[in-house]
Amino acid sequence: MGYGWNGKILRVNLSEQTCVVEELNYDWARDYVGGRGLATKYLSEETDPQVDPLSPQNKLIFATGPLTGTYGAANGRYMVVTKSPLTGTIACSNSGGYFPSELKYAGFDLIIVEGKAPKPMYLRIYNEKVELAGAAHLWGKSTSEAEDLIRKEFHGDAKVALIGPAGENQVHYACIVNDKHRAAGRSGVGMVMGSKNLKAIAVRGTGGVGVADPAGFREAARECYRLLRSHPVTSQGLPALGTAVLVNVINQSGALPTRNSQSGTFAQAEEISGERLAQTYLKRNKSCMGCIIGCGRVTQLSDPRWSGSGEGPEYESLWALGAACGVSDLAAITEANYLCNEYGMDTITAGSTVACAMELFQRGLISEAEAGMPLRFGDGEAMVRLIELAGKGEGFGKKIARGSYRLAESYGAPEYSMSVKKLEFPAYDGRGIQGMGLEYATSNRGACHVRGYLVSPEILGVPEKLDPQALEGKAAWAKVFQDATALVDSAGVCLFTTFGIGVPQVGKLFSAATGKAASEAELLEVGERVWNLERVYNLKAGIDPAQDTLPKRLLEEPLPDGPMKGSVAHLGELLPQYYSERGWDEKGIPTEQKLRSLGVAT
């Protein structure tokens, strides 16, 4: 066993039905750390960026980081990296729970899945013993049903990552669900897994993660615990209300996209808030492996229409299935969230696509006869029905299953898709929070909040308070946050820890775990290297820099209400500054000099 890294990759060729253990490329691990960065390096080296995302030639990479499975922060993350069928960009979806650490304990840093199985299969891993098994009896099962069956027939303590019917039915935003309620959610990674006829990966590991300097690691871990327990977000806000604590905060800031971003405030926000969830359906909070924050929400419905149970909804789901659709029916939102988990669908794109359909209906572009129901903003039961139809791939749900861009484009109105690079943006209006507008436009996987969470300084004041409408310095902030996030994702650490800890603390954990001393500047350079490699991949895939933009609504239609009334996104001013900060040319192309300095091949 190595230190931090196990040093082993599992390569699974579904076409040839082979499972081969290979040695980790330590040179690449040194340059890209692990997780997001290392998987991106492998994908870039082994696939043509022009590959059809649903072809056997595309690869699906499950990647842990050197800190995954260790203690000290919330070090239990993994990444799924592939080419996205939703966007055509590089896809990188992040999840926690217990599956990531179990994969490390079984001895593997990465699993590279290639080819396509001739029939439904699933992968079984018990330490060094690896085999493919038939999954015909699992095909069509929900995520929770399939996991229960797998654990019963394979191992009762196995941790499972799998797709639901949405991945099998080729929903463009199908996700990969692990531990029943955690999800590698965005970009359609579950659609790629389904295209390969791979239902699940089940893993049982009894090993551990070696660290080079146990005493140094304990000291670094204690510092992280102290900082996380003393910060109000990680010690109070997230444990008490989870991410749903943000509903009222963002609404009061005037940046909660409502009714497909036709406004920036939702009059019924209190009805879908974390506070209201705690008063109604919340049973307890829940942590991922080794996490002292416990932001997960375990809930139970008690409504005459539905009586489900599970986890969530979290903030993004409350927004996408709620305010974005004008829905204030918390029970309907919670039921739709459960359905997304069971079918295996990204709640952000699912809710945003329903919101887009509701606006198309409002504008007379979709008829009641075509949809099979009226699609009025605020109709929670219609929203739930559309989510169910999308997961099943039935009726009008087939159009919802394609995502908001393809839906709106099919009616000649792509401007009603609130997306960037075909990925729907999350629960922050870029007109009200200027830095987030820039982040959406420049994120390598499309509109995203967890690639550079500028809400933290612009709204929450962490690490310092910035004016959300100010433009000066925002491009520099965006670059630093993006690079730091790429490092955190590559190390295997949860992004939420960065409210309380930063790159210096991650660096101490990394150095003690791996025995590779690295300065803060060197670690941020890793993040910059990852960001530029993703950019190069996208350029080769045909993602033109002209796609670094925002929906027309955000650029031209001022917010009509709330504290940010009259604001538009000032992307035209920020984007040139951002390109300059990145060391790219004026068109947004990384220069040869910049790439050489980072060691990124063109």
Backbone angles phi, psi at 272, to 5 degrees: -120, 20
Task: Name the 3-class secondary structure at 133.
Answer: strand
Average pLDDT score over residue span 75-83? 97
- The position carrying tokens 């739709």 is 336
Would you state the structure tokens that stand for residue 390, as one six-digit string? 């999308």
The pLDDT of 45-70, averaged and rounded, is: 98
Same domain, 590 and 463: yes
Count Cβ atoms below 10 Å from residue 128 Cβ, excluding itself: 13
Residue 366 structure tokens: 């979709």
pLDDT tens digit sequence for 123-132: 999 999 999 9
In a domain? residue 508: no
pLDDT at 601: 83
* Mean pLDDT for the stretch of residues 77-104: 97
Q: Could you tell me whether strands 198-204 and 121-126 are parallel, antiparallel, or unpaired per DSSP bridges?
A: parallel
Cβ–Cβ under 8 Å, residues 68 and 78: yes
User: Is 588:579 a contact under the CB 8 Å cutoff?
Assistant: yes
Contact, 101 vs 76, CB < 8 A?
yes
Q: How far apart are CA 573 and CA 21, in angstroms?
A: 50
Tokens at residue 42, please? 């492998």
What local confidence, expressed as pLDDT, does residue 1 receive? 56
The β-bridge partners of 130 are: 125
What is the amino acid identity at position 123?
L
Kindly state whether residue 234 falls inside one of the protein's structural domains: no
Cα–Cα distances (Å) from 264 to 135, 248, 324, 354, 591, in that order, read 46, 12, 10, 18, 38
Residue 61 is assigned to a structural domain of this protein: yes
Cα 280 from chain centroid? 27
453 & 554 share domain: yes
The total of other beta-carbon atoms located within 10 Å of residue 476's CB is 13
563 in Cβ contact with 254 (< 8 Å): yes
Q: Is 203 helix (H, G, I), strand (E, B) or coil?
A: strand
- Report the distance separating Cα 470 and Cα 491, nearest Å: 32
Please, what's the largest Cα pairwise distance for the chain?
Answer: 68
CB 61 within 8 A of CB 42: yes
> Euclidean distance between the first and final Cα of the chain, in Å?
34
Which one of 424, 458, 477 terminates a domain? 424
446 in the same domain as 357: no
User: End of a domain among 376, 395, 424?
Assistant: 424
Residue with tokens 């139970």: 300
Provide the pLDDT confidence category of residue 6 given band limits of 50, 70 and 90. Answer: very high
CATH of the domain at 41: 3.60.9.10
> Residue 110 is part of which domain span?
8-204
pLDDT per residue over 153-188, tens digit each? 999 999 999 999 999 999 999 999 999 999 999 999
In a domain, 258, yes or no: yes
CA dist 586 → 13, 546, 577 (Å): 42, 12, 9
Q: Is the pLDDT of residue 445 over 70?
A: yes
pLDDT at 72: 86
Does any domain span residue 1?
no
Residue 550 reports pLDDT greater than 70: yes
Q: Is the pLDDT of residue 289 over 70?
A: yes
Residue 602 is predicted with a pLDDT of: 77
Residues 135 and 274 reside in one and the same domain = no
The Cα–Cα gap between 277 and 301 comes to 10
Q: Does residue 531 surpass a pLDDT of 60?
A: yes
Asked, for residue 2, whether it belongs to a domain, the answer is no
* Per-residue pLDDT tens digits for 349-392: 999 999 999 999 999 999 999 999 999 999 999 999 999 999 99
Per-residue pLDDT of 211-232, as tens digits, reads 999 999 999 999 999 999 999 9
Distance CA 319, CA 292 (A): 26
Quickly list DSSP for 77-116.
-EEEEEE-TTTSSEEEEEE-SSHHHHHHHTT-SEEEEES-
Residue 276 reports pLDDT greater than 90: yes
Same domain, 446 and 324: no
- 545 pLDDT above the threshold of 90: yes
Are 483 and 531 spatial neighbours (Cβ–Cβ below 8 Å)?
A: yes
Report pLDDT for 594: 97
Percent of the chain with pLDDT over 90: 98
Domain identity same for 415 and 478: no
Q: Is pLDDT above 90 for 73?
A: no
Question: Is 228 within a domain?
Answer: no
Residue 28 lies in a domain: yes
Mean pLDDT score of the chain:
97
CA distance 265 to 259: 9
Tens digits of residue pLDDT in 454-480: 999 999 999 999 999 999 999 999 999
Residue 197 in this model has a pLDDT that exceeds 60: yes
Q: What is the CATH number of the domain that holds 491?
A: 1.10.599.10
Domain count, the chain: 3
pLDDT, residue 2, reads 81
Q: Hey, which residues does 204 pair with through a beta bridge?
A: 126
Bridge partner residues of 112 (DSSP): 11, 61
250 and 154: one domain?
Answer: no
| Whether residue 376 sits in one domain with residue 250 | yes
Q: What is the mean pLDDT of residues 90-115?
A: 97
- Mean pLDDT of the region 417-436: 98
Residues facing 311 on adjacent strands? 298
